[in-house]
């Protein structure tokens, strides 16, 4: 029978250490509870003499290091796997299954090696006395901050199953939105790639041969043709250097966007764009309203719900604006007037609806309704924008190739003058 070394708090408040023989970790915790001990840590000893460690790492205690190595080895848990985990965990908890047992079931049922290791790691932390939110917070690459914040709110309020179900709905909705955008932009993107390939072929192979014809006659090329020929010379002479420059520029841009200053500057610039900015702000507002309404409907206090919901916005500029509004709510002001400074995020009509709902004690229902209406409107706008993107891209591609064609054809009409 395995031997476990433990540290625990006694009923008198002192910390004690010792060893215990048990059939498993669950049995060990049950025996500790029978002794009125509150566990701090529990480690399985590797069957050496007298139950002492023999220097070998036992399978149970090696779970976290192995999972960490596996997780750090480049394997990632996909959004689909995380959504399935969240929804199944919500269903198990709603059915009355204890959290530790539910984590064991999910660990055994998953087919992803990376997910199996990660769920085992979360399970070990939970059975060692850590909350589920704190255990998930140790893996920020798997569980985003918004995810952890909602789980923390669910654990605090005693409705973890409801919150996990809502998280799964959020994940499903965002995945569906991304799939729509990707499917709609697939055909225009293929056309753009083909057009760039054709353009490169014209500039590198076709135009130099066409240029020799006019050079032989000593013809004076029109300005448009000269610009096209210069672009061809630049691409043929400095093509590799330009390619390296593009790669370095992309790498620098990505590094800058990861930094706090770069991310804030980029998100602020996005909000100032004529068409995209309002769409981003309305999408953030819908997420904020739905999450806050869901949390309030589940019994989370307003301040805690605001702190969790603001993390779901995504845009740090808007998050900072909402944070200032939360401070006014803490001072005792109503939610509607407190959000009035966030004009990028909340239109006047929405603020008025929030104020009326707050007075009638129906804030949670109204916030969810606002999110439903806003998301339906955004879906229509997105479909329209994507439908317009395809013909605009086709028009741009045709205009670019047509300009090159015209620039090469114009000199032909003057070529006969040089022949005479």
Task: Give the span between the Cα atoms of 285 and 265, in whole angstroms.
Answer: 20
Structure tokens at 256: 């800058």
Residues 352 and 369: their CA atoms lie apart, in Å, by 14
At residue 70, the pLDDT reads 29
345 touches 328 (CB < 8 A)? no
- Farthest-apart Cα atoms in the chain, separation: 112
Partners of 3 in the β-ladder: 21, 45
Prediction pTM value: 0.61
3 state SS for 296-342: HHCCCCHHHHHHHHHCCCCCHHHHHHHHHHHHHHHCCCCHHHHCCCC
Question: What tokens were used for 72?
Answer: 């750090």
Backbone angles phi, psi at 8, to 5 degrees: -150, 165
Q: Collapsing DSSP states into helix, strand and coil, what is residue 41?
A: strand
Residue with tokens 């290791």: 117
Dist CA 282 CA 378 (whole Å): 8
Over its length of 420 residues, how does the chain's per-residue pLDDT go in tens digits? 778 787 776 766 566 788 888 877 667 777 877 787 766 666 777 544 344 444 333 333 333 333 333 233 346 788 888 888 998 988 888 888 888 888 888 888 888 888 888 898 888 888 888 888 888 988 888 888 778 877 887 776 677 888 788 788 878 877 877 777 777 677 777 877 887 888 778 777 777 777 676 666 566 677 777 787 788 888 777 878 888 988 999 898 888 887 878 888 887 888 888 877 888 888 888 888 887 887 787 777 888 788 877 877 767 777 777 887 888 888 888 888 888 877 777 888 888 898 898 888 888 889 989 988 988 888 888 778 777 777 887 788 788 878 877 877 777 776 666 555
């Amino acid at each position: 029978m395995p031997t476990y070394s433990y540290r625990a708090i006694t009923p008198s408040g002192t910390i004690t250490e010792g060893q215990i023989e048990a059939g498993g970790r669950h049995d060990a915790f049950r025996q500790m509870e029978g002794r009125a001990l509150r566990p701090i840590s529990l480690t399985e000893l590797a069957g050496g003499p007298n139950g002492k460690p023999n220097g070998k790492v036992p399978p149970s205690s090696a779970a976290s290091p192995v999972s960490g190595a596996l997780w750090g080895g480049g394997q990632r848990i996909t959004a689909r796997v995380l959504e399935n985990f969240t929804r199944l965990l919500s269903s198990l908890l709603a059915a009355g299954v204890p959290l530790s047992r539910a984590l064991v079931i999910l660990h055994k049922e998953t087919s992803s090696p990376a997910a199996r290791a990660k769920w085992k790691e979360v399970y070990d932390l939970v059975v060692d006395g850590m909350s589920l939110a704190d255990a998930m917070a140790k893996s920020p690459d798997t569980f985003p901050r918004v995810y952890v914040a909602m789980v923390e709110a669910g654990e605090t309020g005693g409705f973890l199953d409801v919150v996990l179900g809502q998280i799964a709905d959020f994940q499903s909705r965002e995945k569906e939105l991304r799939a729509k955008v990707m499917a709609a932009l697939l055909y225009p993107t293929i056309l753009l790639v083909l057009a760039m390939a054709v353009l490169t072929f014209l500039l590198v192979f076709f135009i130099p041969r066409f240029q020799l014809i006019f050079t032989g006659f000593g013809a004076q090329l029109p300005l448009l043709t000269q610009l096209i020929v210069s672009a061809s010379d630049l691409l043929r002479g400095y093509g590799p250097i330009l390619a390296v420059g593009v790669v370095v520029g992309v790498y620098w841009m990505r590094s800058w966007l990861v930094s706090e200053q770069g991310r804030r500057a980029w998100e602020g610039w996005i909000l100032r764009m004529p068409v995209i900015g309002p769409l981003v702000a309305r999408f953030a507002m819908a997420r904020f309203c739905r999450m806050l309404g869901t949390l309030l409907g589940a019994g989370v206090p307003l301040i805690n719900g605001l702190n969790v919901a603001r993390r779901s916005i995504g845009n740090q500029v808007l998050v900072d604006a909402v944070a200032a509004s939360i401070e006014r709510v803490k001072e005792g002001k109503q939610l509607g007037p407190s959000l009035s400074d966030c004009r990028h995020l909340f239109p006047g009509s929405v603020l008025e609806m929030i104020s009326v709902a707050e007075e009638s004690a129906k804030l949670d229902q109204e916030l969810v309704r606002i999110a439903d209406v806003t998301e339906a409107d955004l879906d229509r706008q997105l479909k329209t924008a994507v439908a317009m993107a395809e013909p605009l891209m086709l028009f741009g591609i045709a205009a670019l190739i047509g300009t090159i064609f015209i620039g090469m054809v114009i000199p032909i009409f003057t070529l006969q003058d040089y022949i005479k």
